[in-house]
């Protein structure tokens, strides 16, 4: 069945719902397409908080500088300025919508400290800040009556004369494929954590949006910049929020030493994430780890702080490791967490493809550059979600809706049927994904080398070949997840390839990209973004853009 809207938003996390709300406020007929119910979106897993220079004595300039320094000077400073200037109003707007932010004794919003920040400017709700924002925003979507296509899985973007005019989506509940036409599409489908094993990300973070936009002609930028979070739970790899260290927790090695004093003597445990993760990896590699982990020690914070401000991670450590952090330190290690790179957009969320916008983790404005500061991701989603919603609605107002697309619907129908008809070859989707993700963690993880990256690219080509033999192990119509898993694996392969290629191109170490063959940052040659543009069967086109510098020249980065 075909349906028409002005603006379609792909994804219902914070960026997507914020974009939809703003587009609706600007008079657009907007609909959200999401493969999971909005409340299941991974924004809810953001624990620690959201940054803004809101307090007395703080300034957006200070927030912007911390962000630029945190990014290892790869962020575009014009975009960072916009984000940090607009942050206070966006946070206040969420407070007015009903978010139950923590208060200082005077009843105003209160803060906690966070990594890489020169002062405490992280606003929060316990350790469920993402969830608190998400449920509030979802309820605003309900109130505004925005149409949500729930559990609709996007398979391809509709392109007409070089412009994006909608998408094709599979309705999980019926197995029916639909054509959704629009004047503009905002891709806000989140990250790609399933490309790495282990990862803090949820099972549905499969890089759909990166691949869909890339295949529609939008360049992907700085894909090599994959963040490893310093504190993920031993074993399961679940996130232990940076807020623990923000509240004062220590990182200890096997000798009981607060080892961060040797890596970041000023900020200690609250150095930027790339610095802290590498420090942990060094400790572990030099034999001062405990079974491949270091320890996160919260005991001195006392039960009151832990139970009131960090209840969720307290419970998770008990549930999944049997450790009560009030009494014992928790084993943690660096784990894949966030993709700084993504679909290249301007500060309005617009890509180079007319009608195609992007916001949130899937986008790269770039405000995070080589390394994102903790509590800047929630901020990114609501600032650039709002801006892309506004810009897409404006664009839609002066654009004519497409009348076509039936051919795309038919070709997608045929493609999906082809997958369903593929005979079983012994190759499983889950097995191949695990091999891919393990390889990415080993060779394209915290440390990279030319040799490892070349091997990774060769292996990826081999995975692509094997992917052609993966059969769909379920032939049913209703809720066929085996089919969507195969489609997701296809998205992940595109993400993996662009990450490896970008990592091969960048011959230096910057932010999250630590290249053992080029261990130093090279500002002479590499103050540039790398963009990869799809060319079908051929290798992607490589281009560069200079980093926008407004007022902060690159400096030596110490914490």
What residues are labeled active site?
229, 245
Q: Footprint of other proteins on residues 9-48 (CB under 8 A)? A: 36-37, 39-42, 44-45
DSSP 1-33: -EEE-SEEEE--SHHHHHHHHHHHHTT--EEEE
Q: Footprint of other proteins on residues 85-124 (CB under 8 A)? A: 88-89, 92-93, 95-98, 100-110
Q: Which of 8, 83, 132, 264 binds other proteins (CB under 8 A)?
A: 132
The yes or no reply on residue 256 touching other proteins (CB under 8 A) is no
Q: Which of 59, 62, 85, 236 binds other proteins (CB under 8 A)?
A: 236
The yes or no reply on residue 516 touching other proteins (CB under 8 A) is no
The yes or no reply on residue 481 touching other proteins (CB under 8 A) is yes
The yes or no reply on residue 479 touching other proteins (CB under 8 A) is yes
**Minimum gap (Å) between residue 194 Cβ and other proteins:** 11
Question: At what angle are helices 77-97 and 60-70 packed, to 10 degrees?
Answer: 120
**Minimum gap (Å) between residue 470 Cβ and other proteins:** 10
Report whether 364 contacts 15 (CB < 8 A): no
Interacting stretch for other proteins, rule CB under 8 A, among 255-263, 270-278, 408-416, 477-485?
477-485
Question: For other proteins, what does the binding mask look like between residues 393 and 432, x meaning CB under 8 A?
Answer: -----------------------------------xxxx-
Measure the CA–CA gap between 435 and 401, rounded to whole angstroms.
43
Of the candidates 334, 357, 37, 310, the residue with the CA atom closest to the CA atom of residue 172: 37
Kind and range of the H or E run holding 159: strand 152-160
**Minimum gap (Å) between residue 476 Cβ and other proteins:** 5
Is the Cβ of residue 475 or residue 551 nearer to other proteins in the bound state? 475
Is the Cβ of residue 44 or residue 253 nearer to other proteins in the bound state? 44
CA distances from 352 to 91, 187, 225, 501, 511 (A): 29, 13, 21, 21, 26
Interacting stretch for other proteins, rule CB under 8 A, among 155-163, 178-186, 309-317, 518-526?
309-317
Measure the CA–CA gap between 487 and 484, rounded to whole angstroms.
5
Is the Cβ of residue 248 or residue 473 nearer to other proteins in the bound state? 473
Measure the CA–CA gap between 24 and 107, rounded to whole angstroms.
32
| Dihedral, 558, 73, 86, 102 alpha carbons, nearest 10 | -30
The yes or no reply on residue 304 touching other proteins (CB under 8 A) is no
The yes or no reply on residue 507 touching other proteins (CB under 8 A) is no
Q: Which of 258, 292, 307, 319 binds other proteins (CB under 8 A)?
A: 319
Interacting stretch for other proteins, rule CB under 8 A, among 3-11, 154-162, 223-231, 473-481?
473-481
Residue 118: phi, psi to the nearest 5?
-80, -15
The yes or no reply on residue 477 touching other proteins (CB under 8 A) is yes
Residue with tokens 């919603």: 389
Q: Which of 118, 142, 302, 421 binds other proteins (CB under 8 A)?
A: 142
The yes or no reply on residue 312 touching other proteins (CB under 8 A) is yes
The yes or no reply on residue 473 touching other proteins (CB under 8 A) is yes
285 upstream amide cis, omega within 30 of 0? no
Measure the CA–CA gap between 428 and 6, rounded to whole angstroms.
39
The yes or no reply on residue 135 touching other proteins (CB under 8 A) is yes
Residue 431: phi, psi to the nearest 5?
-65, -45
Give the tokens for residue 523: 């500002």
The yes or no reply on residue 551 touching other proteins (CB under 8 A) is no
Is the Cβ of residue 404 or residue 431 nearer to other proteins in the bound state? 431
Residue 156: phi, psi to the nearest 5?
-165, 150
Residue with tokens 């989707």: 429
CA distances from 186 to 30, 165, 169, 262, 408 (A): 10, 11, 15, 44, 19
Is the Cβ of residue 133 or residue 225 nearer to other proteins in the bound state? 133
Of the candidates 239, 256, 235, 254, the residue with the CA atom closest to the CA atom of residue 299: 256
Of the candidates 5, 45, 72, the residue with the CA atom closest to the CA atom of residue 133: 45
**Minimum gap (Å) between residue 141 Cβ and other proteins:** 10
Measure the CA–CA gap between 294 and 231, rounded to whole angstroms.
9
The yes or no reply on residue 322 touching other proteins (CB under 8 A) is yes
The yes or no reply on residue 140 touching other proteins (CB under 8 A) is yes
Is the Cβ of residue 61 or residue 315 nearer to other proteins in the bound state? 315
Question: For other proteins, what does the binding mask look like between residues 360 and 399, x meaning CB under 8 A?
Answer: ----------------------------------------
327 C-beta neighbours (distance < 10 Å), count: 9
Question: For other proteins, what does the binding mask look like between residues 168 and 187, x meaning CB under 8 A?
Answer: -----x--------------
Is the Cβ of residue 45 or residue 460 nearer to other proteins in the bound state? 45
Residue 520, exposed/middle/buried by CB under 10 A (0-12, 13-18, 19+)? exposed
Is the Cβ of residue 282 or residue 481 nearer to other proteins in the bound state? 481
Report whether 119 contacts 107 (CB < 8 A): no
Measure the CA–CA gap between 509 and 173, rounded to whole angstroms.
47
Interacting stretch for other proteins, rule CB under 8 A, among 2-10, 436-444, 451-459, 472-480?
472-480
Q: Which residues bind other proteins (CB under 8 A)?
A: 36-37, 39-42, 44-45, 88-89, 92-93, 95-98, 100-110, 125-126, 128, 131-132, 135-136, 139-140, 142-143, 173, 202-204, 236, 238, 308, 311-312, 315-316, 319-320, 322, 428-431, 472-482, 485
């Amino acid at each position: 069945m075909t349906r028409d809207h002005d603006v379609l938003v792909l994804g219902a996390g914070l960026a997507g719902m914020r974009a939809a709300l703003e587009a609706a406020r600007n008079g657009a007929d907007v609909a959200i397409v999401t493969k999971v119910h909005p409340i299941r979106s991974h924004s809810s897993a953001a624990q620690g908080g959201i940054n803004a220079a809101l307090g007395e004595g703080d300034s957006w300039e200070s927030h912007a500088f911390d962000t630029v320094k945190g990014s290892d000077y790869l962020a575009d400073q014009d975009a960072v300025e916009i984000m940090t200037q607009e942050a206070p109003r966006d946070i206040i707007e969420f407070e007015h919508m009903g978010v139950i932010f923590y208060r200082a004794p005077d009843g105003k919003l209160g803060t906690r400290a966070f990594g890489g920040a020169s002062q405490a400017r992280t606003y929060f709700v316990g350790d469920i800040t993402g969830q608190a924002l998400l449920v509030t925003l979802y309820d605003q979507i309900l109130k505004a009556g925005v149409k949500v296509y729930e559990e609709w899985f996007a398979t391809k973007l509709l392109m007409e004369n070089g412009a994006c005019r909608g998408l094709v989506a599979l309705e999980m509940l019926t197995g029916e494929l639909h054509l959704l036409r629009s004047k503009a599409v905002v891709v806000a489908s989140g990250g790609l954590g399933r490309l790495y094993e282990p990862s803090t990300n949820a099972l549905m973070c499969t890089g759909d949006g990166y691949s869909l936009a890339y295949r529609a002609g939008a360049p992907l930028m700085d894909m090599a910049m994959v963040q490893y979070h310093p504190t993920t739970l031993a074993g399961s790899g679940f996130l232990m929020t940076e807020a623990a260290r923000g509240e004062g927790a220590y990182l200890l090695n096997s000798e009981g030493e607060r080892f961060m004093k040797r890596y970041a003597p000023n900020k200690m445990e609250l150095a930027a994430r790339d610095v802290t993760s590498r420090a942990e990896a060094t400790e572990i590699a030099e034999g001062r780890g405990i079974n491949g982990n270091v320890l996160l020690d919260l005991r001195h914070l006392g039960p009151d702080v832990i139970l009131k401000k960090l209840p969720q991670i307290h419970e998770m450590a008990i549930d999944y490791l049997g450790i009560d952090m009030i009494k014992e330190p928790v084993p943690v290690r660096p784990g894949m967490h966030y993709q700084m790179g993504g679909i290249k957009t301007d500060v309005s969320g617009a890509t180079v493809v007319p009608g195609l916008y992007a916001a949130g983790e899937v986008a790269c404005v770039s405000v995070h550059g080589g390394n994102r500061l903790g509590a800047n991701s929630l901020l990114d989603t609501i600032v650039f979600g709002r801006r892309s919603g506004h810009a897409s609605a404006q664009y839609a107002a002066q654009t004519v809706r497409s009348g076509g697309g039936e051919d795309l619907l038919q070709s997608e129908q045929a493609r999906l049927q082809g997958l369903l008809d593929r005979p079983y070859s012994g190759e499983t989707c889950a097995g191949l994904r695990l091999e891919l993700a393990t390889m990415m963690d080993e060779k394209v993880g915290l440390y990279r080398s030319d040799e490892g990256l070349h091997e990774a690219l060769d292996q990826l080509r081999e995975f692509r070949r094997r992917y052609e033999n993966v059969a769909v192990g379920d032939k049913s119509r209703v809720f066929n997840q085996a089919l969507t898993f195969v489609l997701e694996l296809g998205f992940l392969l595109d993400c993996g390839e662009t990450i490896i290629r970008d990592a091969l191109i960048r011959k230096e170490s910057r932010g999250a990209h630590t290249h053992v063959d080029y261990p130093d940052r090279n500002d002479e040659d590499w103050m540039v973004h790398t963009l990869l543009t799809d060319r079908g069967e051929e290798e992607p086109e490589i281009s560069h853009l200079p980093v926008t510098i407004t007022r902060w020249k690159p400096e030596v980065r110490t914490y």
